[in-house]
Amino acid sequence: MPEMPAIRLVNVNKWYGTFQVLHDVSLTVERGSRVVICGPSGSGKSTLIRCINRLETHQRGDIIVNRVELTDQLSKIDRVRSEVGMVFQHFNLFPHLTVLDNCTLAQRWVRKRSRKEADEIAMAFLERVRIPEKAQRYPGELSGGQQQRVAIARALCMNPSIMLFDEPTSALDPEMVKEVLDTMVSLAEDGMTMVCVTHEMGFARQVANEVVFMDGGKVIERNTPEAIFSAPSKERTKRFLSNLL
């Protein structure tokens, strides 16, 4: 029997009031694969990715994550959220908590881990993102690149089977982009299932199994990075990609 995909969206439609933001979006993410979503500002990329862990709700179509169909049932939403890590453009760390406490809060309250166990797990992931020496610092004392690596470590502490990234490097100064992308590449190499909204096409080339181009709330084109970068089939994709270079 073929394995169920990690994420499956079938004809998803969403409205903000009367404004339709997603039009029949379908997407399949196989376990262990990486999908990069790109497209102009306002095309619905954040909305789409936020629907996957139900930070936003869709009105029509199906979203199935790790075999769980997303409906209004709270227990299902909690289950999906606990298996899906999310990294945002603006890090969203708790400013009044140390780096270590940022990484242990959900572990203790959601996973019910002891402080000792949560601390050990947090330190292991802070090592993994190469920033253990900042454990007792506050987010405001860190550079943007360091904060984003903490945000990745914080998500990993919950042992997610899927990681969602929403433009994780677009708020960073150029010299900090690489340290965050390197962390993401290493996650990809370890086989993490990832959906990344990003315009970092070098990253897409290196790790993506599929690149999805969105515009106006629709999937315009999807293909392997090789194919979409060398010969986009739609004029809109071509124009968008040529502006990135």
Pick from 10, 11, 42, 57 the residue near ligand ADP by CB under 6 A: 42
In the numeric block, which tokens belong to residue 109?
């309250």
Instruction: Say whether residue 198 binds Mg ion (CB under 5 A).
Output: no
Instruction: Give the x/- contact pattern for Mg ion in 14-53, rule: CB under 5 A.
Output: --------------------------------x-------
Q: Report long-range pairs for 180-186 (Cβ below 8 Å, ≥24 apart).
A: 180/145, 180/148, 180/149, 180/152, 183/129, 183/130, 183/149, 183/152, 184/152
As a whole number of angstroms, the longest Cα–Cα distance in the chain is 55
Instruction: Say whether residue 47 binds ligand ADP (CB under 6 A).
Output: yes
Instruction: Say whether residue 169 binds Mg ion (CB under 5 A).
Output: no
Instruction: Say whether residue 94 binds ligand ADP (CB under 6 A).
Output: no
In the numeric block, which tokens belong to residue 220?
């315009």
Given a contact cutoff of 8 angstroms between Cβ atoms, the answer to whether 166 and 155 are in contact is no
Q: Closest separation between CB of residue 34 and ligand ADP, Å?
A: 19
DSSP letter at 69 equals: E
Given a contact cutoff of 8 angstroms between Cβ atoms, the answer to whether 133 and 97 are in contact is no
Measured from each CB, the residue nearest to Mg ion is 46
Q: Which among Mg ion, ligand ADP, none contacts residue 42 (Cβ within 5 to 8 A by kind)?
A: ligand ADP
Choose between 48 and 156: whose C-beta lies nearer to ligand ADP.
Answer: 48
Choose between 20 and 223: whose C-beta lies nearer to ligand ADP.
Answer: 20
Instruction: Say whether residue 146 binds Mg ion (CB under 5 A).
Output: no
Q: Is 172 helix (H, G, I), strand (E, B) or coil?
A: coil
* Residue 69 main-chain phi, psi, to 5 deg: -80, 130
Given a contact cutoff of 8 angstroms between Cβ atoms, the answer to whether 100 and 127 are in contact is no
Choose between 5 and 168: whose C-beta lies nearer to Mg ion.
Answer: 168
Q: Closest separation between CB of residue 148 and ligand ADP, Å?
A: 17
Instruction: Say whether residue 44 binds ligand ADP (CB under 6 A).
Output: yes
Radius of gyration of the chain (CA): 18
Q: How many CB atoms are located within 10 Å of the residue 119 CB?
A: 18
Q: Which among ligand ADP, Mg ion, none contacts residue 43 (Cβ within 5 to 8 A by kind)?
A: ligand ADP
Query: What residue type is 207 in one-letter code?
Result: V
> Site residues (CB under 5 A) for Mg ion?
46
